[in-house]
Amino acid sequence: MLDTRERQRIVGDFTMSPMDISIGRTYPDTIVISRSNFDTHGFTIHPVFMIRPPDREEMFVDVPYRCLLPKGLDGILVTGLGVSAHRDAMPVIRMQADIQNQGYAAGVAAAMAARSGKSVRDIDIKALQKHLVEKGNLPERVLTDEDSFPLSQEKIAEAVERVVNDFEGLEIILTQRQDAVPLLKKAYENTKAEKSKLVYAHILGMLGDPIGAGTLADAVRSRNWDKGWNYTGMGQFGMSMSELDSLIVALGRTRDKHTLQAILEKVELLDVESEFSHCRAVAMAFESLGEPAAAKPLAMLLAKPGIQGHAFTDIDRAGRGIPASATDTITRNNSLRELVLARALYRCGDYEGLGEKILKEYANDLRAHYARHASTVLQQKRSTTGETVP
């Protein structure tokens, strides 16, 4: 949906991540310096924000020219909310003044390419930067900046040591996972402190490593459901899931089938009064595990009063579901909860066809984003199993 804030983005020659922003990465081809904070909309999805909440502190961010260049496609520049950046990085680089400066830089780059007869990839980037410096859009330092990545092994090792202190340095660890994971596993095995062991297990689980699955399962079993999070349309700062939610997601990503029971025990306690983040967390965990034994408990949760029946498949139903306030998010919260649970049920093998039934209802939802999502889930099942979905 091209006219929405959270629209589709290109895959460019470079894709900016939240870690690039948090660490203050510099580039040889910076064309804009953006200013904002991690004011997301809806819920964050990057592992860094599933473990540690985004800060609302204002920051300045270098944006490289390569974010505007669609990979494999020449003769075109993409600006604004369509540039190549992770969804959770966009809040920091999408402010009006920033995309105006970005559009100006793209226009100058296009003119340079037209005059020289060169590709937009082959323009003199330093000449473009000099022009932007002269205009006051960029500081002179960009003319000599180099890529500050990759990070040194020493810096990653230091971050692994510090991360047990409220996940300090987590963005450094997630920047170069292939270098950090062996150090994290070694630290997990060597530490005697239970708190530190859980931190390492938590991070490793999010990254799909099963070494700490037992530690995570024990932590999940020992905790009651905490304060969760319901869908928020705007002004979303901080975590969009609770600490227990995060541990459950990490446990699921270990893909250790022996830990399933720890999550099932928590599912039994959920109902229509439970926050969306709790339902989303167990759904994500079960999808990662792909365990058929999760199907019946998910179906039983969906069968509890008030959890089903939130698809808008006709105009009369949609009219009755209009919230009293334009800023009310109850309607979306109910629909999202039902949809993520049905999706997880379907991907775990389904139970008496309930997951497929709900997804088909949402595939006909008058709200196109829900319909497209449900249809895609059904299509994925068809493409991987050869089943025909009407």
pLDDT band at 384, cuts 50/70/90? low
Q: What is the pLDDT of residues 125-162, one digit of tens each?
A: 999 999 999 999 999 999 999 999 999 999 999 999 99
In this prediction, residue 173 carries a pLDDT of: 96
What single string gives the DSSP state of each residue in 310-354?
----SHHHHHHT--SSTT--HHHHHHHHHHHHHHHHHHTT-STTH
Q: Kindly state the DSSP code that residue 151 receives in the 8-state scheme.
A: P
Degrees (nearest 5) of the Cα angle 185, 190, 191? 105
- Look-up of token digits 């948090």: 22
pLDDT number for residue 237: 65
pLDDT-derived band at 57 (thresholds 50, 70, 90) equals confident
pLDDT at residue number 390 = 40
Q: Quick one: pLDDT at residue 14?
A: 98
Count Cβ neighbours within 10 Å for each residue of 136-174 and write b for 16 or more, e otherwise: ebbeeebeebeeeeebeeebbeebbeebbeebebbbbbb
Q: How confident is the model at residue 53 (pLDDT cuts 50, 70, 90)?
A: confident
Taking Cα atoms as reference points, which of 175, 186, 219, 240 lies closest to residue 38? 240
* Gap between the Cα atoms of 188 and 141, Å rounded: 41
What's the CA gap between 240 and 164, in Å, rounded? 21
Does the pLDDT of residue 328 top 90, yes or no? no
Contacts of residue 156, Cβ cutoff 8 Å, sequence gap at least 6: 172, 173, 176, 179, 180, 183
Tokens of 100: 């105006």
pLDDT for residue 189 = 97
Q: What is the mean pLDDT of the chain?
A: 92
The whole-number pLDDT of residue 44 equals 83
Sign of CA dihedral 323, 329, 330, 335: positive
Q: Is the pLDDT of residue 188 over 60?
A: yes
In the chain, pLDDT over 90 holds for what percent of residues? 81
Cα(61)–Cα(47) distance, integer angstroms: 20
- pLDDT given at position 315: 87
> What's the predicted TM-score (pTM) here?
0.91
- The answer to whether residue 196 scores a pLDDT higher than 60 is yes
φ, ψ (nearest 5 deg) of residue 33: -115, 110
pLDDT tier at 382 (50, 70, 90 boundaries)? Answer: low
Q: Is the pLDDT of residue 45 over 50?
A: yes
Secondary structure (DSSP) of 259-293:
GHHHHHHHHTT--TTS-HHHHHHHHHHHHHHT-GG
Whether residue 304 has pLDDT greater than 60: yes
| pLDDT-based confidence at residue 386 (cuts at 50, 70, 90) | very low
Q: What token pair was written down for 32?
A: 């804009």
Task: Reduce the DSSP state of residue 31 to 3 states and report it.
Answer: strand
Whole-number percent of the chain with pLDDT over 70:
94
Checking 10-13 for CB contacts under 8 A at 24+ apart, the result is 10/70, 10/71, 10/78, 10/82, 10/83, 10/84, 11/70, 11/71, 11/84, 12/66, 12/67, 12/68, 12/69, 12/70, 12/71, 12/78, 12/83, 12/84, 13/66, 13/67, 13/69, 13/71, 13/84, 13/121
pLDDT for the residue numbered 383: 55
Do residues 267 and 234 lie in contact, with contact meaning Cβ atoms separated by under 8 Å? Answer: no
Q: How confident is the model at residue 389, as a pLDDT?
A: 42
